Amino acid sequence: MDEGFFSPRYVLPFSTGKLPHIFCDVLVLGAGAAGLRAAAAASCCGEVIVAAKDPHPESNTANAQGGVASVLDKSDSFERHVDDTMAAGAGLCHEDVVREIIKEGPAEIRLLESWGLRLDREDGRISLTREGGHSRRRVAHAGGDETGRKISETMISHVGKLKGVSLMDGWFAVDVLTDPDGGGVLGVLMLRGGDPVVIRTRSVVVASGGLGRVFRETSNPKSATGDGIAMAGRAGARLRDLEFTQFHPTSLYLPGAPRFLISEAVRGEGAVLRDASGLRFMPAFHDKAELAPRDIVSRSIVSQMKKTESTCVFLDMTGMKGLDPKRRFPMIAAELAKYNIDISRDLVPVRPAAHYLIGGIECDLDGRTAVRGLFACGEAASTGLHGANRLGSNSLLEALVTGRRAGESAGKHSASSKRKGNGVQIESDLGGRGAEDLNVEDVENSVRALMWRNVGIERTGAGLVEAVEKIAFWSGYVFPTVLRDRRALELKNMLALARLIARNALRREETRGVHFRMDFPAPDDRRWKKHNYCDPLAGS
């Protein structure tokens, strides 16, 4: 990339001088379900640090409402779950990965229950709901629609008590440090407040989540700026399929309100979508109506909004038979009540928002990347589970299984590796001008608006070319600056990843899964039934 951000020299953007060092056996970046599960798995192999840039409950895990998909009922089967996942993935799932993750799901859920998680039950059995793309009711939930938060709280409580595991808030990871002689990971350069610190380790697990904040409309928390993915790319890991961003069909759409996610489980329990005239429109787009895969529902909403010249559609929860929506979805009910919306009586204005990154850091099922000692799991990873479109509630399943596997692998790698370079002090030699004249907020808002407009649900070649060119122009004056604070460093990560997303989307001249090209509206299996790689160090 000509802006130079994906360069090994970037790892040290501070004034010359010796930096303080901390040592551990395994460093986990991210404190969502994947990171915490990795930490628990690695804890038997030595000292583990879990570093999060925000307080631990602030993650996509904590915000997850619907639940975790797994085969927990005798009427279901692994084969059905595999078939549903493969169908949603539009030809790009790795069947062996899909089968293994689905097979290991029930054991992970039983483990969480042993840690204290209380899943919702009916007559003593785990209560299950259905979401789009699923052929059976297989989504387990807790606290109605508070599944993610309950899981997060349970895992933090358990992992925080484990011997040798340290949970650290307010630590921003800047870059992975690697051995120049090809020996793999040496550690990570961190910011604690505004002070640089090196955490020295031989095993790093990237569990930092996705990059939804690259888009103006997103359900993700402010922390989802893709830092871990960008760092892995700079360290030499392979990134792939970044054009596959899943847009959740139903986020709250009110002026001035955050784009609060309204779970797909709501539609699984009988809620329907209506346009501005009150018409239920989804049956005209797909035989599964509101329970069609997410990419279809999102595009159908956009189409109906255009047809009716409206800025949103409406979610109707008033006709759920035999179900009290306020009791089943207490968190949603409480949040919408802040805006004087009664879900048992009122229609809810919604529209799609960027929600989940399908692609990410290429790794195997055990989290191993192309860089020795660097592992990935959860949303930041690309294992082959999701293909071109994620099946609803497979994300928490993925986080638990791949988190455990990556943690075990990282722990074993650390135990079998000798610490190298412990006496080497990291110093900076990066020049450049200061950032005093750079309006970080303005550039960030411009990037997010451009990505939503040109690289959102509907894409064209002309719009993607414009996005690549504008991001390159902005990068030309942002990247030479020496930026020492978290927000500015996040902006650099967002710019770098936004350009890679746009480039990948431009190169994939077809429609597949969540990637919709208006100028190439059909899939092209001959040319594009494959992964779309970008090599940051070589310029994509």
| Residue-wise DSSP of 223-281 | T-S-HHHHHHHHHT--EE-TT-EEEEEEEE--TTS---B--HHHHHTT-EEE-TTS-B-
Q: Specify burial of residue 214 (Cβ count, 10 A radius: 0-12, 13-18, 19+).
A: buried
303 is written with which tokens? 């189409």
Rounded Cα distance, 98 and 383, in Å: 9
Q: Is 294 known to be catalytic?
A: yes
Nearest alpha-carbon partner for 290 in 317, 309, 328: 317
E runs forming strands in 36-164: 48-52, 68-69, 121-122, 125-126, 128-129, 139-140
Rounded Cα distance, 311 and 293, in Å: 22
Backbone dihedral angles phi then psi of residue 301, each to the nearest 5 degrees = -65, -45
Choose the catalytic residue: 37, 200, 294, 368: 294
Rounded Cα distance, 128 and 48, in Å: 35
- Helix or strand (DSSP H, E) at 406: helix 394-416
Residue pair 152/62 in contact (Cβ under 8 Å)? The answer is yes
Residue pair 3/469 in contact (Cβ under 8 Å)? The answer is no
Residue pair 350/252 in contact (Cβ under 8 Å)? The answer is yes
Report how far apart, in Å, the C-alpha atoms of 91 and of each of 87, 343, 390, 519 are: 7, 38, 12, 21
Residue labelled with tokens 């279901």: 76
Residues 6+ apart with CB under 8 A from 255: none
Nearest alpha-carbon partner for 11 in 423, 428, 421, 540: 428
Looking at the DSSP assignment, which residues form a beta bridge with residue 205? 28, 375
Tell me 520's DSSP state: B
Residues annotated as part of the active site:
294
